[in-house]
Amino acid sequence: MRPGNLTQDFLRRFMENKLALLGGALVLALFVVSFLAPWLAPHNPNYIDVKAILIGPSSNHLFGTDHLGRDVLSRMIWGSRISLKVGFVAVGIATLIGVVLGALAGYYGGLVDSSIMRFVDLMLCFPAFFLILAVIAILEPSIWNIMIVIGVTGWMGVARLVRAEFLTLKTREFVQAARVLGASDLRIIFVHILPNALAPVLVSATLGVAGAILTESALSFLGIGVQPPTPSWGNILTAGKDNISIAWWLSLYPGLAILITVLGYNLLGEGVRDALDPRLKE
């Protein structure tokens, strides 16, 4: 089947999946809100108004204010940028590491494969979140440290997926032909095999963004993630925890934002997976 037909088949299957379209719409909405944050936010997210401390939702503050009188809606809109940045950079790092190590393990096999996969098994022995907590506790809490740590502790699944694809693809005729024509190992790996092994990686990356956003929110909630006054959904939740009996809106709205964002990425990722799955062909 020609590439054009494959693309049309993928788009048709994806468009028929209503939940996938819902996930895509939610993700697109997050992108729009993040991009237009300077224009959508009704107030300065870091402006402290001591006369408006812990005011409930009103016409002037649709999502209320926090313990410092800052507008919660504005902080959530700006916090969406943090979520997107952490999600994409962290998953980008994890995907890069996983693709390289998985490709080397699957292509060369033998001792290289055994060494890399034993390292993968070793990394999987440690609970990922507690490993992140330990590293962040040692390093200075910052958004860049968070993105790097989430990335370097989340590549193992991608490595396994790429390795499995390479074990199947390296015996195909087009790879043998490239080898006979004198193509180098690097060219065979990155030009001939890798483009044909990226479908499961795309699905894993889409789902991984949701996990990275959830991890960043959890770290910020614990106080070792994005540091105030930078707005983050997680540190807004921290203020909500401290004032939950008198300011319910500080927990409800950022919690819903995290829920909807993670749900959107999961629905989108599952929709892409189903559209790419050849077993679903009629």
- Tell me, yes or no, whether 55 lies in a domain: no
Segment 177-205, tens digit of pLDDT: 888 888 888 888 888 888 888 888 888 88
Give the whole-angstrom CA distance, residue 167 versus residue 277. 19
Is 52 part of a structural domain of the chain?
no
Residues 6+ apart with CB under 8 A from 204: 95, 157, 158, 161, 269
Above 90 in pLDDT, residue 14? no
Residue 3 predicted with pLDDT over 60: no
pLDDT in tens, 82-124: 888 888 899 999 999 999 999 999 999 889 999 999 999 988 8
Asked whether the predicted pLDDT for residue 279 surpasses 70, the reply is no
Look at residue 81 and tell me if it is in a domain: yes
In a domain, 92, yes or no: yes
Structure tokens at 79: 């916090």
Q: Give the CATH number for residue 268.
A: 1.10.3720.10
- Average of per-residue pLDDT values in the chain: 86
Is there a domain that residue 1 lies in?
Answer: no
**Per the domain annotation, does 16 fall within a domain?**
yes
Tell me whether residue 196 is in a domain.
yes
In a domain, 17, yes or no: yes
> How much is the pLDDT for 4?
54
User: Which structural domain range is residue 22 located in?
Assistant: 7-35+60-280
Q: Work out the average pLDDT over 165-169.
A: 89
Report the alpha-carbon distance of residue 57 to residue 63 in Å, rounded.
Answer: 5
Contact 212/148 with Cβ under 8 angstroms?
no
Burial class (CB in 10 A: 0-12, 13-18, 19+), 219: buried
Provide the pLDDT for residue 103.
92
* Residue 260: pLDDT over 70: yes
Query: For the chain, how many structural domains are there in total?
Result: 1
